[in-house]
Structure 1
Amino acid sequence: MTTPQHADNHRSVTLARDALGAYTATNVRGGTLAVGSGDTDDFTPVELLLAAIGGCTMIDVDHLTSRRAEPTGFAVEVGGDKVTVDGVAQMQGLSVRWEVTFPEGEAGDEARRMLPRAIRMSHDRLCTVGCTVKLGSPIATIEGRTGDDSRPS
């Protein structure tokens, strides 16, 4: 079943150029994030993709397991290889490595039992970012205003 497209389902961010290789992403809530080309400590687009995969699946798994017990440790490492195949840059071999611990006791035991299922549910159907990457999605490119802004209108 496909979820209908409505305005409340739409997500967007805008990016603005600050300098060569330096950009600011802004979400609709006003949050900002520096994006760079790798010459500074700002996240690169590939690192943001990896962070989005990790953040998305962490949110899912955290919500599912924390109902049982508050984790004492909760981290993921997301990685992959940036390669060029037939002239096309891409990431391959993406992986998410989990490091999650729960307290001793019945609630912690229940959360530990839930963890593999929660990870699988996130991977298979809940994590929008991961599922989009796995399934692929066309990206429409729409050219807006171009040209010399210095000419009078």
Structure 2
Amino acid sequence: MTEDSQRSVVIERTGTGHFVATNTRGGTLRFGTASDDGHSTEFTPVELLLAAIGGCTAADVDVATSRHAEPTRFSVSVTGDKISDEQGNRLTDLNVTFTVAFPDGEPADRARAILPRAVRTSHDRLCTVSRTIELGTPVTTTIEPTADDTL
């Protein structure tokens, strides 16, 4: 693995059930699993996974189609059913739905024509997030001792 191929984020707890993820470029994203009033607007980790699936494939498709015409509508909906069974908690029946519209004209006709291929290519080869989920990859967890804590 090269240094250029590794991706990483650091997650810091900001309060009970509240976290902030920071990427190597300094970008931050707040998320959580709890709220003080029961009505948190923060994304949950599961919603972040759905957003990552949709965002990854949306970016691929946008690059391919918008070079021909700027869409008048570009929306991606991602759904999944959260279940708990003998294998533990997980999502099933993941579904990504594109709603894309282009204006009239020849460039937009080209964008419309390549849309199905762009979606298929993203799903089959390009989208790192959905490809990782579909192919599966081990996740290793470790606990690193700190100076103020002994394990």
Q: What TM-score do you get using the length of structure 2 for normalisation?
A: 0.92
Alignment match, 2:13: 17
Q: Is this contact kept in 1: 2:18–2:34, CA < 8 A?
A: no
Seq. identity, %: 52
Q: Give structure 2 stretches of 5+ with no counterpart.
A: none
Q: Is the 8 A contact 2:9 2:22 kept in 1?
A: yes
CA deviations on 1:68-118 (whole Å, 9 max, x unpaired) are 111111010001000012050000000011110011011111100000000
Give me the TM-score of the superposition, normalised by structure 1: 0.91
Runs (5+) with no aligned partner, structure 1: none
Aligned length: 146
> Is 2:30 aligned against 1:34?
yes
Q: Deviations over 1:25-71 (max 9, x none)?
A: 00001111111005311110000000000000000000001111111
Q: Which runs of 4+ in 1 moved over 4 A?
A: none
SS at the partner of 2:109? helix
2:15 and 2:67 mapped to 1: Cα distance? 45
Work out the CA distance in 2 between the residues paired with 1:116 and 1:85: 35
SS in 1 for 2:4: helix
Alignment check: 8 A CA contact 2:76 2:97 kept = yes
